[in-house]
Amino acid sequence: MAERTFIAIKPDGVKRNLIGKIVTRFEEKGYKIIGLKLLLPTLEMAQKHYAEHEGKPFYPRLINYITSGPIVAMVVEGVNVIEEARKMMGKTKPEEAEVGTIRFDYALCQEYNIIHGSDSVASAEREIAIYFKEEEICANWKTMTEMIMNV
């Protein structure tokens, strides 16, 4: 069963011109991108997104960071994509991330770590709804493999 996850290239990723490189990783892996847009998160969006971290010492800076410039918001579909996208991203602290992961390769510190990805089915549904309207998700098309196999 295909899952959906919410991926965001955070403002530092956009500012460092990494949009193409990061989108490419998800395309090359073979996932289906069914939502994609550049947007400046509002304070309300950021607070909803990171509600679980409210009250933590890093929370005010996190909200400032996430609203400091545009993000690239994506809905990505694929089998086991929630867990696998987290693997592709690497751990929150880039120094703990495996070599070859997005955070190891590009992030400079734990705070500015380039990318967000949902950590569960429930988070994915919640986060997609914060950033996307239903009609902005284009799920009703076939990948080339599906087209050729006529599935």
Compute how many residues bind ligand UDP; rule: CB under 6 A: 8
Is 116 a residue of the active site?
A: yes
Three-state helix/strand/coil letters over the chain: CEEEEEEEECHHHHHCCCHHHHHHHHHHHCCEEEEEEEECCCHHHHHHHCHHHCCCCCHHHHHHHHCCCCEEEEEEEEECHHHHHHHHHCCCCHHHCCCCCHHHHHCCCCCCCCEEECCCHHHHHHHHHHHCCHHHCCCCCCCHHHHHHCC
- List the one residue from 119, 130, 137, 143 that touches ligand UDP (CB under 6 A): 119
Q: Does 105 bind ligand UDP (CB under 6 A)?
A: no
Strand-pair partners of 74: 7, 36
- List the one residue from 24, 64, 92, 120 that touches ligand UDP (CB under 6 A): 92
Q: Which stretch binds ligand UDP (CB under 6 A): 23-31, 107-115, 127-135, 141-149?
A: 107-115
Q: Is 75 helix (H, G, I), strand (E, B) or coil?
A: strand
Q: How many CB atoms lie within 10 A of CB 82?
A: 19
Q: Does 101 bind ligand UDP (CB under 6 A)?
A: no
Q: Does 113 bind ligand UDP (CB under 6 A)?
A: yes
Site residues for ligand UDP, window 27-66 (CB under 6 A)? Answer: 58, 62
Q: Does 111 bind ligand UDP (CB under 6 A)?
A: yes
Q: Does 116 bind ligand UDP (CB under 6 A)?
A: yes
- List the one residue from 47, 67, 110, 143 that touches ligand UDP (CB under 6 A): 110
Catalytic residues: 116
Instruction: Give the binding site for ligand UDP (CB under 6 A).
Output: 58, 62, 92, 110-111, 113, 116, 119
